Each structure stands twice: as C-alpha cells, then as structure tokens.
Structure 1
C-alpha cells in the first residue's frame, strides 16, 4: 500500500511538473528578487530598451520589476502577463493639448503604484494598440524615469508563443511619483514651426497614407500633413510576427528618407500615440535629439497660422476602410454613413473592379493571373484588360468607339462611381486612367490593393460576379491622352517633356523589355524617371501602397522635371506610365498626358495590308505589325 501511495505521489508530482512546464512557469525563478532583462537584439545602440520575452518571463517574480499592460481594459481582463498592471495612455492627456499638467500626471502615476526609480517593462498588442506602449514609454522618460523598456513582440508574440498568463487583475499599493521633467523630449507646435525649414531638423509623420494625403479621419480641423514631414506609417515598424524591425531595417527606413542621427527629429500622429512608438525607435537607434509631438495634428491643424500640405486630388486615392464603408452604405436597408468625400444617395450606382490580364478561361489554363478566383472584395467584378485593348501582340487602347463599347459591356455609365484595385498597382492605375480618359465622373483608385484589404481584416469572396451590360455614352477627354501622332509633333519642342518610366535597361536600349518588341531604345530627349513597375520598389512601398507623393515629387524635382511644361509619361504600353500619371494627378498637375501606346507605339508601324501580313518584310516582325520606326528617331546609351 505504501508503494502504491508513493508511486501515486510520484506520478502526481510528475504530472504537476508537466502542467507547470506547459504554461511556461517552469522557467520562472520563484526566488528571484532582481529582474535580469536582456536585449531582444544586441545590434541596436540602445539595445537594452527593447527586451526579450525570455528574459521577461524569467524575471516575472522579481520584486523590483513593474510590468505595465498598455492595452484596453477589456483586453487586459481576458488575460495578461503575470503581475502586470493595466494602464491606459488616454488617462494622461487631453485632445489637442497633449499631456496633462505634470502634477496631475504624477499624482495619477503614484496612485497606480509607480515610482520614477522602478524598472519598468511595457507592452501592448502592437499594431492593434496604435503605439500605446510607446506613448507610455515616452511619457515616463519625459517625466524622468531612466529604467523603462518595451517587450519585443508585445502581447501578440507572447501569447502566440504560449507563455504564461493570468486573468486576475493586479493592483499595487499607492506610491509617490516625483517627476523630473526632461523638457526637450516634448515637442511643441511653436518649436516645430520655428525649426521646420532648418536642414538639421526632421519631422516624422507616423500616420497612414490616407491621412498624410489629406483624408480627415479623426476629427482633424484640416487634412494633410506638416510640411516637409516624412511619412513612415506606424504599421511599418513591425515584422510579421509583431516583433520590432531590426537595426538594419530601421536604419534603411530612416536614413534613406533623410532621418539621420545628426539631426533633431520629432514625430507626430493624430494624438501623439503612434508617434510615441516612433520616439521609442529613435531612442533605440541611438538618436540623441528626439522628441514626441504629443498634441500632434489635433493641435497643429487647429492653428490656422501654421501651414499644412495635402495632395490636391487626394480623394481619388481611396483606402480599404473607405471602400468597406461604400459597400455598407449601399446595402439594402442600410443606415450606415456614407464614406468621406462621397455625396451620392444610397441608390447611386457603383461598381468595384479587380483588374488584371486574362479571362477566366485563361486563368483556368494558367495563362493569366488568378488573384480574383483566389479571393476578392465582395461584389467586385473581374476586369480583363484585353476588353479595352486591341490584343496580341500589341496591347494598345481601343479607339474611342471600341472603348465605349467595352465600358458598356462592363456595366459602366459616365455617372457610375467606379473603384478599381488589383494586386498590381500598374494594372489598377491603367484602368483608373482609362476610365478618367473615357469621361467617367467619379473613379477611385484603391490604394494598397487586395493586400491592404486583407491586412485590414475585411472579408473576401470567391463568387464570380458579372456586370450587367449597358450603353456607355460619355465624352472622352483627349487632353489626358498622347497619341503617337501627337508625340511626334511635340517630343522635341521646348514646351513639352517626355518622361520615361521603364527600366534603365529599356531606356538605355540594352533590352526592348518585351519578347515581341524588336527595337530598343527611347524617344530622344526623354528624361528617365526610374522604373514604375511594382517590382522595382521606386513608386510603390513594400506594403503595396503608393509611395509618399511628397517623395515622388522630390524625386521628380531632383531629375529636373518641370511641370510648367506639358509632361508626357510613357513606358512600354501605358501601364507603368499610368501609375506615374496618377501620382502627377494626385499632386494637382493638369498639364500632363499618358502616352498610352508607349515604346511599342513609337518603335513600330501597324500595317493593315493583307499582302504584308502574309510576308512580313522585317526580321522579327509579328503578323499585323512591323518592327520599323518608320522614320521616328531613337536614342540609346547611358542614363
């Protein structure tokens, strides 16, 4: 009996040990009095600020460690790090004014059991918290705390890795928080206004593309951004597992945009939350002169004496939440609000197009992109680019009559609101430009494409939606298009400028860029403005959104592109150039055209003669057209 009891106790002990190991507590030192925090990545200049989950887990029972959960109270209640208290940044500031007065904040921190001398680790649920941990980190450093850290990966990675948690709320005995204000860490509107145009001063805008462009999403008095600010959206600061980007990634992101350690740098967002995390990253990277503009755009926009910039035609570039609001607004029986900058009633016709090359038959045979079949925005219709082009081997836009027939087959009328998107920005921009040229009154480009829609957590469907054909009777806008004949008449005139957005190898004449195009080179006098293809990463960011239009404007300015002249963009067949045209349109330029036929049009001569079709005269030609410049000049050589 004793042996049975002994064995039972041993078995119980083993099972209990396994249970502890399963919840992660087996690596926690129960007797530890002093926290031993380790850097998540040693390569950062101030590596100790970002601490690893392993070291925090081993220090959970350290008596000198305070863990702050910066998430919403409802999230904290469902589970949190053992011993963590819950603290919301919103308790410490007021809209448009920033941080409350120091005495008030100090009293609040003391009531929460916090002192300036404690070792503190803060975490949130990363992208979903919009920088909550960073905001508290900045506030505590501003008030003089010197031993504050952020948990790498936050709650997202901690919970995903199966580390120990608890549900019971934690409170601490009240303490006395004695602040030691570090004034240089808190930027003010007056400070920014006074330094804005200094070369050793830089401003980071941590908001989304749409906010930077000009959309007013959170009650801002004015839309847009602080002039000369660099747009580095908060969502970019994390890896896919929600750990913070590593040193080289952050160094490239910052320094490639002029945010260098020798400058004084401040960051802002709407209310100083996302920018609080940008401040943390600057500290992590060793920047000596950095701050957070905690009152942010709610403060800056209210003061009309301060300038703000925005893309004049920002409303043509919509974002996933706008499209979701459009769909919800038009649902039968809906009472939801219309999306911003949309003045139509609920009966107004709208269509959403996912565009790529190829028909469903082509997709089934693997000849075309199958993104639509894998999942698309609910209600979206697939737009095969063949519908509005002449087809193989040259992808030229149909003549006006044929184009109108094509748009009618797509169910479009001139007053239809049309949203276009793709997993390729150049395809979406091409259809956007075609619809603008055709005279559609309200056509929108969804920035970020299907990638952005899915990143926002919105549903997709695989249902094949088909349009209801109609008659398109809109009037085209010839001033938006440059034909080959038109380009021939202006390409060498001082009043016009050709801008080539093909690859450098195409521009220099090393390659034609297309297997069915023999001739190589460029239109004489054209300026090379880099490759606008998505894969080149010049005009499109890594998250598939448009690059900051201010960066593109600066790029063009540095190349000497002068929009006082008529500017004609071209590529191979009007796709990449449509994206460049979209940027110029967003910037408000009107003296612009898209050479839709591009290099294929310039370098070839279409021949209808049946006798020629039977006996192509030029080596490398394809039935129906000649690889012959027909007297049009061609330039080659270096960039």
Structure 2
C-alpha cells in the first residue's frame, strides 16, 4: 500500500478542506477491503445495523457498551481503551476508517474519542452507510476473525474536551463561542428529550446563554457526505463562528456535537474547538445553571 495520502480516491486538496486526507471515499474503501494495514470500524446510532449487514471486515463499536465506563458517566480509561483496540487487532500503525449511519454522527464521535487517546492514523468514510448502501456495495453478516494485538494509547488529551466548569467560566468571555447543535425545538426548550432517548432528558429545557443554534445535520448533504468547505465556512461564519474564536460545541451527551467538532477542526481547520460532552443532559439538570429560552 502506497499510503492514504497518495491515494487518488481520497478527497483531494481541491476540496478546500483544511485536512482533506482525513476523508476517504466509498470507492477507495471498496478497493482496500483486504488491506491488512486498515481496520474498518462501524459506529452507528442504531446499534442493530451491524448485525443486519456491515462492510466486509469491519468491526462493531457499540457506544452503549464498548467505550463507556461501567459505573461513572465517563469514557473507558486508557487501559480499557488499549484492551479494546488490542481485541480488534489494531496496532499503533493501523489506519482506522470510521463509518456509520446518519451522516457519520457516531463515526465522528468515535474519531473524537480516539483522538483524545492519541491514535494518529484515522479517517472518516465520506457519506457513511447511507452512501455505501445507495451505491449497492457489498454488505455481510460475517463477523471477521481477528488476531489480537498489543495496543499502546497515550494518556487522554483533555484539551479536546470541555467540562461544565469550563463552560460556566467562559460565559463572560467575549472571545468564546458556544454552538448548540441540537434541533431548533431542543434549543428553544420546546422539546425536553428526543423521543427515542428519554434517558438523555433534563429537568429544564432551553439552551446555554449566548449559544448559537447551528444544528449538526446542516453540515451534511442529503447523501450523507460533508458539505463543501465554502458552504461550511458560510454556515458557521454567518453565526460569527470564526477561526479566531475559542469554540465549544454541545448537544445532549456530546455525540452530535462531536460531528460539529470534526467539521470545525478537521475540515475547516479551526485551532481552538472543544466538545462539551456533558452537554444538555448535564447542564439542564444542574442546580442554578443559567438557561435561556
């Protein structure tokens, strides 16, 4: 393999993205299904999709099980992360390609988490499951047989993550921008929790004071691919979300906002973006937390 950066099917520099090498197209993935240096990871919002059919050779990342702490509301620690990747046959030199349903919502969430633990070689399959299925590419129910490895992660990079104290302290910072990536109904407080996720509910509806409403899905085309760099710059620039600002994204538990984090940091090259994964499930339940409607 000559390397991802040299492949003609990757999104090339003409796209205008800051890091076009972090996206690969479906045809490139189809050509590299048997490449031992690559591990495909499917991360879906609908955790049953993998069993219905997945890209040959891919493994399933179940966000409810694989990367959640079993007791606290937090992610797995460094040792547990190492054990997970070792079980999936991933080494530090493996190129991971994430894909999933719903505009790669959970695929980008996974990219964000794996970035915190320092995995260097990662890509998103542009368009995710939606595009792969629309092109009638092969799916299988066969779970790959994998030889375990010994993976070594870095300590979690906390600079990618915002906590409630950070958000609260930044409310009076004129250089800080908050992006609420939820639906308009969640932003206004009309909707307390999404229908399928009552466990993500909050006692209060609304949004964090000063937050800009930019729903995460507006960054994607109807086929699940990311919008062009020009369209994305206009989408965020029109709301005064510019590269010179410090930016914090949030949703309900941080998964949709990780999609926006990926767009801002990897596609547009914003240097200071953090994902507040406590998000509204935490903020809307905090005693005396300031809220706007």
Q: Under a length normalisation based on structure 2, what TM-score does the superposition of the two structures give?
A: 0.87
What per-residue deviation string (whole Å, max 9, x for no partner) do you get for residues 145-187 of structure 1?
1211111110111111122332211242333332222220011
| Higher gyration radius (CA) | 1
Aligned twin of 1:207: 182
Paired residues of 2:81 and 2:153 also in contact (CA < 8 A): no
Q: Please say if 1:240 is aligned against 2:216.
A: no
Give the C-alpha shift of residue 301 in structure 1: 2.2
Matches within 5 A, 1:553-632: none
- 1:89 corresponds, among 63, 80, 101, to 63
Q: Distance in 1 between matches of 2:161 and 2:145?
A: 29
Please give the secondary structure, in 2, of the residue aligned with 1:250: helix
Q: Distance in 2 between matches of 1:170 and 1:159?
A: 20
Aligned twin of 1:39: 10
- 2:232 corresponds, among 229, 250, 256, to 250
Q: Distance in 2 between matches of 1:96 and 1:247?
A: 38
Q: 1:98 to 1:300 in 2, by over 3 A?
A: farther
Aligned twin of 1:268: 250
Task: Extract unaligned runs of 5+ from structure 2.
Answer: none
- 1:178 corresponds, among 152, 157, 171, to 152
Higher RCO (CA < 8 A, seq sep 6+): 2
Q: Distance in 2 between matches of 1:176 and 1:273?
A: 28
Q: Distance in 1 between matches of 2:277 and 2:147?
A: 29
Q: 1:230 to 1:165 in 2, by over 3 A?
A: same
Task: Extract unaligned runs of 5+ from structure 1.
Answer: 1-31, 311-639
Q: Please say if 1:118 is aligned against 2:118.
A: no
Paired residues of 1:143 and 1:182 also in contact (CA < 8 A): yes
Paired residues of 1:98 and 1:294 also in contact (CA < 8 A): no
Paired residues of 1:34 and 1:64 also in contact (CA < 8 A): no
Q: Distance in 2 between matches of 1:46 and 1:69?
A: 22
Aligned twin of 1:190: 165
Matches within 5 A, 1:489-528: none
Q: Distance in 2 between matches of 1:263 and 1:171?
A: 46
Q: 1:81 to 1:223 in 2, by over 3 A?
A: same
Q: Distance in 2 between matches of 1:109 and 1:41?
A: 29
Q: Please say if 1:301 is aligned against 2:284.
A: yes
Q: Considering only aligned residues, what root-mean-square deviation do their CA atoms show, in Å?
A: 2.1
Paired residues of 1:69 and 1:86 also in contact (CA < 8 A): yes
Count of aligned pairs between the two proteins? 277
- 1:165 corresponds, among 121, 139, 143, to 139
Q: 1:41 to 1:299 in 2, by over 3 A?
A: farther
Q: Distance in 2 between matches of 1:84 and 1:146?
A: 19
What per-residue deviation string (whole Å, max 9, x for no partner) do you get for residues 579-606 of structure 1?
xxxxxxxxxxxxxxxxxxxxxxxxxxxx
Matches within 5 A, 1:239-638: 239-283=221-265, 284-310=267-293
Q: Distance in 2 between matches of 1:178 and 1:302?
A: 37
Please give the secondary structure, in 2, of the residue aligned with 1:196: helix
Q: Please say if 1:101 is aligned against 2:83.
A: no
What per-residue deviation string (whole Å, max 9, x for no partner) do you get for residues 375-400 of structure 1?
xxxxxxxxxxxxxxxxxxxxxxxxxx
What per-residue deviation string (whole Å, max 9, x for no partner) do you get for residues 469-508 of structure 1?
xxxxxxxxxxxxxxxxxxxxxxxxxxxxxxxxxxxxxxxx
Give the C-alpha shift of residue 139 in structure 1: 0.4
Please give the secondary structure, in 1, of the residue aligned with 2:64: helix
Q: Under a length normalisation based on structure 1, what TM-score does the superposition of the two structures give?
A: 0.41
- 1:155 corresponds, among 129, 132, 141, to 129
Please give the secondary structure, in 2, of the residue aligned with 1:207: coil
Please give the secondary structure, in 1, of the residue aligned with 2:257: helix
